[in-house]
Each structure stands twice: as C-alpha cells, then as structure tokens.
Amino acid sequence: MSPSKSYKSRTGEVPCGDKDLYAFLTDIRNFKEVLPSGMISEWKATPEKCSFRIDKAGKVNVSLKEALPHTMVSYRAENLFIGNLSLQVVIEALTSHSTKLYVIADIGMNPLVRMFIGESAPQYLDKLIDMIENYSGYDKIRGYSQSL
C-alpha cells in the first residue's frame, strides 16, 4: 500500500445551520444531490454507504466512517484508480442559517497516480467546496434535522 498524503481545501460557507448540514451529510443517499448531473452512473445507496461509477475514473465505493454531531463527518472511499481515500468534512456554525466547512483528504495514491495528480489535489478539494457552496437545494436542507 502506498503512503497516504493529507490535503486541505479552502474554507467555504453554506446557507444552512450546522445541525441541518450535519444531518444532510450523514445520510449518504444525499450525495447524489450534490454531485454534478451526468457525471455518475450505476448509483446505489443506503444511509451509510453508496457506490457509483464516474466517467474516466471507474467505480467508487463510499462509506460513512465517523460522525461527531454537528462538527465533523468522515467518509472512506475506494477507487481502483486513486486507491483509498479518507475524507473529513469539518463543520463550524456561524449563525443558525450559516455554516463554515472545509475538507481534509488523506489519499493513499500509488506512485503513478501521484505523478499524474501531483500537487493538484487541493484544487480538486476546492472544486468540491465550490460544488457544496453552489448546491441549489439548501432551502430543502433547512429544517432537515427536525423530525416530521
């Protein structure tokens, strides 16, 4: 196994509370809502795990690894091309309707993939933050943590 390397994204901000964002992120079925349409196929999901195929990257398996209420959610992902990946989303409340977040990724890339990706991993994480910030469904998330 290749040694892993850690990368950190920029800090982003989303228009919903930390409790609602946490509830949304801990149900992996919601990932499909954030991923760009047309990018994935063969989607299968439960609240704790999902699998899908990404064009040019192959099959990805994601599972919920750890969740600390309203502050952190971590995932484990596996892909034949990239290898093992651990993603941690750190959540920090600003107001009842605004939350800061950033992503830390530990990637166990093989040497060939490391050569192709190089030091561009933080740019990919920043794009992930862009997708999260630009998600158009935050009006649906507000109140997500409240029971019906």
* CATH, residue 22: 3.30.530.20
Tell me how far apart the alpha carbons of residues 8 and 119 are, in angstroms, rounded to a whole number. Answer: 11
| Domain count along the chain | 1
Any domain includes 62: yes
| 8 Å CB contact between 75 and 65 | yes
Tell me how far apart the alpha carbons of residues 26 and 143 are, in angstroms, rounded to a whole number. Answer: 15
pLDDT in tens, 22-58: 999 999 998 888 877 787 899 999 999 999 998 877 8
Q: At 12, is the pLDDT very low, low, confident or very high (cuts 50, 70, 90)?
A: very high
Any domain includes 43: yes
pTM for this model (two decimals)? 0.85
Q: Quote the domain boundaries for residue 28.
A: 5-141
Any domain includes 107: yes
Any domain includes 120: yes
Any domain includes 77: yes
Any domain includes 12: yes
Tell me how far apart the alpha carbons of residues 36 and 132 are, in angstroms, rounded to a whole number. Answer: 11
